[in-house]
Structure 1
Amino acid sequence: MIFFAVADTFCKANNIDIAPETNPGGGPVDFRFSKGYTNRVLVEIKLSKGKVVQGYKTQIGIYQGASNTDSAIFLLINVGKMGQKLVEIQKHRDTQIEAGLAIPEIIVVDGRRKRSASVRETLFEVIEDDFNDDDDEE
């Protein structure tokens, strides 16, 4: 809902259509942006604790086919439990590129909770927060 609220404001200012949860036949994609009929971009948002590898390898491709567009963004929000998921996604992406296929852009956002800088005692704690994740394999 936060993504939609921010995106909707931007879209209004730039005359871009935003449609949340559209279902062109392959299931509901999180967002579809369009300017006219042929200029479409899909956005699929996943939290790192879920089945993100399957979402990238299969789900977004189905949505792209059903929406008849090559343009898509896979927005991955790291909330912990990332493990090797991003590495697997990047390997799949590289294979797709080598095959000459259109691939979704991958954007990763660090959504892990961090302690406030005002309560940290040392610089080491800041660095440790960036690398200390409770990663599990999918």
Structure 2
Amino acid sequence: MSPSLILPMAAHVALAALLYVLLTVARAPAIWGIGRGSDGSNPFAGVEPRVSANLSNQFEWPVVFYAACIILCLQGEPGRAAIGLAWVFVGGRILHSAVQIGTRNVRLRGIVFTLNFLAVLGLWVLVVARAVSGPVA
């Protein structure tokens, strides 16, 4: 398997791992009492549901990303277009996480998601084009 697509896949795995750490920290006051406010409250109560939702998002559309990357690798050298689209996807996922966790701006989150969505569709266009006619860009 080509390391050129392994790196963006590994970067996405690292993002998911970071989100698990953030979720653990956000839940620590409620679960372990670590970091509770002076009144016993969880100072992260407002952000915890957004981190949790974002982490769940990492196992939805990204699964289609992984499938496309693996198929492209099995078809031969992925090419610059595939590598570029994979990095656009990962960058978009990082931005999507920042928007979803750090803001309540649903419109911006939708725009960023569309970028991710289109990058994966582009990867699948390459998969299908290679399957039909042989290697392309």
Q: TM-score, normalised by structure 1?
A: 0.23
Task: Give the structure with the higher percent helix.
Answer: 2
Q: TM-score, normalised by structure 2?
A: 0.23
